[in-house]
Amino acid sequence: TTAGNVIKCKAAVAWAPKQPLSIEDIEVAPPKAHEVRVKMVATGICRSDDHVLSGSISSVKFPVILGHEGAGIVESVGPGVRNIKPGDKVITLFQPQCGECRNCLDPKSNMCLKSDIGKHTGMMLDNSSRFTCKGRLIQHFVHTSTFTEYTVLDEMAVAKIQDDAPLDKVCLISCGFSTGYGSALNTAKVKQGSTCAVFGLGGVGLSVVIGCKVAGAAKIIGVDTNSDKFAKAKEVGATECINPKHYKEPIHKVLERLTEGGLDYSFECIGNTSVMASALLSTNYSCGTSVIVGVAPSAAELNLNPMEILTGRTLKGAIFGGWKGRDCVPKLVADFMAKKFELDGLISHRLPLQKINEGFDLLHKGESLRTVLYF
């Protein structure tokens, strides 16, 4: 039995920014109080992992085990863990839910104050690490670290899911899918019969399209400067797609015409502040709602004429689609199992952990929607 003992296993370690990951033998300490050790089964590669690797999130300390879109099986639990036991299937939560802080207690918020996003302590809640490699301490990443055969998670960062869920698919519920889907359902609260536009048709944008479709939107317009993205967008629910490069006039004018006075909802899934402004302008001046989903460069600022809001528009945003992880992720998995939505269309590649650098190359080349790593 491995419970209570250090586990030696393989992990993809990021020793320094701007370098390929390196597959190493690491040691994973047993879980302490209110912690869970998980054998990873599948993990997606997300753009945020790449942002860290490229050095653009400078507060993350190295060496670190990245990865935050994971699903696995509980190997052992530390003292005090009540609702999770060895053998349970779980999804990792980079946006944790401690259940006790001011934001966890507010039904409108999912921004648990114990989250490590932005702070990047790189540690478990007790301020220590469970990973070592070649005698060196290795940092955790946003309470998850999924690019390893075994990881240790604080209980607040673990969602227990049903036993029959396919982990190689539902791992996407851990980040990319839920971020887009929740932006439509929770943040915008898209209504039946409404008109929507989704700017940026990558994996996150497609998940917004799926959310708009599930909400019963009448029009879902995909907007992308790369027309190669349109076929997949239509496959998952876009009713039409437009390429801003094909028009002389600004894209918000085109959308205003297509929707007779502006959209009910728009979503920016790129991380470009000028697109954020045009997404806002393309909504109805009085009753439109625009949601920021993409993460802009940290120094970027949004340029708006206040009159665009004064007339009644709403501008919103959310991390992780507004979902409270431990409460909502099991329900999202149940909805997937009940075929409310599909995830297959979002997975473009599957690779073993050993080929993780190929997965990042596919991301850089724009060839992948989501690469899922298996163990």
Q: Is-catalytic flag, 364?
A: no
Alpha carbon 70 to its chain's center: 11
Stretch of 18-26, 40-48, 338-346, 349-357 lying at the interface with ligand COD (CB under 6 A)? 40-48
Binding mask 32-51 for Zn ion (x = CB under 5 A): --------------x-x---
Report phi then psi at 214, rounded to 5.
Answer: -60, -35
Decide: is 109 part of the binding site for ligand COD (CB under 6 A).
no
Q: Is 175 a catalytic residue?
A: yes
168 vs 350: CA distance, rounded Å: 9
- Other C-beta atoms closer than 10 Å to the C-beta of 33 total 13
Rule CB under 5 A: say whether 98 interacts with Zn ion: yes
User: Does residue 67 belong to the site contacting ligand COD (CB under 6 A)?
Assistant: no
| DSSP helix/strand/coil, 208 | helix
Give the nearer residue to ligand COD in terms of CB position, either 48 or 76: 48
224: contact with ligand COD by CB under 6 A: yes
Q: Is 98 a catalytic residue?
A: no
Residue 214 in contact with residue 190, Cβ under 8 Å?
no
- Residues 167-206, interacting with ligand COD (CB under 6 A): 175, 179, 199-205
Amino acid sitting at position 292:
I
Q: Which stretch binds ligand COD (CB under 6 A): 44-52, 150-158, 234-242, 259-267?
A: 44-52
Q: Is 109 a catalytic residue?
A: no
104 binds Zn ion, rule: CB under 5 A:
yes
Nearest to 201 by CA among 193, 210, 192: 210
112 part of the active site: no
The amino acid at 328 = C
- Quote the DSSP letter at residue 64: B
Beta bridge partners of 223: 199, 242
Distances (CA, A) of 309 to 25, 213, 315, 334: 54, 27, 8, 38
Reading the block at residue 69, the tokens are: 């879109």
Active site residue: 22, 34, 51, 348, which one?
51
Q: How far apart are CA 273 and CA 277, in angstroms?
A: 6
Query: Tokens for 241?
Result: 């797609």
Query: Where do we find the tokens 């917004």?
Result: 208
Q: How far is the CB of 244 from ligand COD (least distance, A)?
A: 6
Judged by CB under 6 A, which stretch of 6-14, 185-193, 221-229, 234-242 contacts ligand COD?
Answer: 221-229
Told to check if 101 binds Zn ion by CB under 5 A, we report yes
Encoded tokens for 360: 């990042």
Measured from each CB, the residue nearest to ligand COD is 202
How many chain residues bind Zn ion (CB under 5 A)? 7
Residues that bind ligand COD (CB under 6 A): 46-48, 94, 175, 179, 199-205, 223-226, 229, 244, 269-272, 275, 293-295, 319-320
Catalytic machinery residues: 46, 48, 51, 68, 175
